[in-house]
Structure 1
Amino acid sequence: MTRTALSALLLGLAALSGCVAPTGPVEVTRFHEPAALDQLGHGTIAVAAAPGGDPASLEIRTYLAAVSRQLGAIGYADGTADSADQVALVRVERSYYKPDRTRGPVSVGVGGATGGGWGSSVGMGLGIDLSGGPKDQVSTELSVQIRNRASDAVLWEGRSHFAVAADSPMADTQLGAAKLAEALFADFPGTSGETVEVK
């Protein structure tokens, strides 16, 4: 997928990057071999969906655009799948779940007191949580693997992940793609094997 083909998506993501809604930190983990470091961050690279991904889907195309933008920012030039020095394979996994309620919706408290010569008293309090159950959550993970196109050797790989409420603006594909890609390539190539939180 060339940067020309991605231009419309890139413009949209660039506009969104300055107004991304607040979210918690993104968890990022990256791996690379020291011998591969001098090959990273320069030359030409093609961005493609990893095997099993649908390159025609809007969601995948949005993440491809976000990754392409970050690769350009760290020094790569756009290349084609049959001629680029390296290939970046992109995978996205999203899942929805409902967090467990940590306590019941109804709570009861009982207290007692005694007074010297004045008898005793007992009180009971009833509390009802009317806030409803926990909101549905959406978990999104972006994984990218950079390979040498000629040898197919893996030079670098990483993943970024966050979970937000399903009705949060950050659950939106475009906002989430920009945030996850930016976090994944922050301080590229990163410390191999270390998991960090990027705000």
Structure 2
Amino acid sequence: MMKARGLFIALAATGLSGCAATGSAPVQVTRFHLGAPLERGTVTVEPMTGDAPASLEFSVYASAVQAELLQQGYTAPEPHVTAQYLAVVGVNRTTLEGAPRRSPFTVGIGAGGGGGYGGGVGVGGGVSFPIGKARSRYVTASQMSVQIRRRSDGTVVWEGRAQTRDDDKGPGAQTSVAATKLAHALFLGFPGESGRSITIK
């Protein structure tokens, strides 16, 4: 009995570590641009009108986008100097109810002989059922959109959108993690192929 219990605990631990090693959900990315080489310059990050979360939360996304822009050759303007470009950022996060999560513990009946008083009597077939009630499972859907506009004439020279879904109890649902993940995926291979949707794991 003790050996069986030890084996069960070991298998459960293996399953949990496997889930942890799976990583976060992939990101769907779509980008658009004019096809001409993008000139670099100074840039500031601002929220999209009417589409920004609380200012403290938005600052996390703005910092993630700015960090990616700096890596792509853009620079921050000097104090009190108007930037050449404006990166307009929109963020949308929604909690959705997914498929119910059932208990991982099951009880099997039949499928073999032995056991029971008298022994040697088997019940054909096998049936298993979960212990406990199904629990509701929720996911956090996160979407980030960015437009790079030229301040001189307001032309949008590049636009991109990234979206993903993560378990609301997982690390991917945290604001800081989601912001970094979406911004990195959005600017990976910048400027990217215009009009093409790709999946980044």
When the two structures are superposed, what TM-score results if normalisation uses the length of structure 2?
A: 0.71
Q: Deviations over 1:76-121 (max 9, x none)?
A: 0113797211100001100111114599xxxxxxxxxxxxxxxxxx
Mark the CA change 1:102 to 1:165 in structure 2 (over 3 Å): closer, same or farther.
closer
Q: Partners of 2:179 and 2:84 in 1: how far apart?
A: 25
Q: Partners of 1:88 and 1:162 in 2: how far apart?
A: 21
SS of 1:162's equivalent in the other structure is strand
Larger Cα Rg: Structure 1 or Structure 2? Answer: 2
Q: Partners of 2:101 and 2:176 in 1: how far apart?
A: 32
Q: Does 1:70 align with 2:64?
A: no
Q: Partners of 1:190 and 1:130 in 2: how far apart?
A: 49
| Equivalent residue pairs, number | 165
Q: Partners of 1:123 and 1:52 in 2: how far apart?
A: 64
Q: Does 1:33 align with 2:34?
A: yes
Match of 1:94 in 2: 93
Mark the CA change 1:61 to 1:192 in structure 2 (over 3 Å): closer, same or farther.
same
Q: Partners of 2:99 and 2:62 in 1: how far apart?
A: 34
Q: Deviations over 1:30-82 (max 9, x none)?
A: 01111xx3334x11111111111458622111000000000000000113797
Mark the CA change 1:159 to 1:102 in structure 2 (over 3 Å): closer, same or farther.
same
Moved more, 137-146 or 122-131: 122-131
Match of 1:14 in 2: none
- Calculate percent identity across the aligned residue pairs: 37
Where structure 2 has 5 or more consecutive residues not aligned to the other structure, the ranges are 1-21, 103-122
In the alignment, is the contact (CA less than 8 A) between 2:166 and 2:172 conserved in 1?
yes
Match of 2:117 in 1: none
Q: Does 1:144 align with 2:142?
A: no
Aligned residue identity for 1:96? T
Q: Does 1:184 align with 2:186?
A: yes
When the two structures are superposed, what TM-score results if normalisation uses the length of structure 1?
A: 0.72
Q: How does 1:106-121 map to 2 (within 5 A)?
A: none
Match of 1:83 in 2: 82
**How far off is 1:25 after superposition?**
1.7
The alignment's C-alpha RMSD in Å is 3.1
In the alignment, is the contact (CA less than 8 A) between 1:45 and 1:88 conserved in 2?
yes
Aligned residue identity for 1:183? A
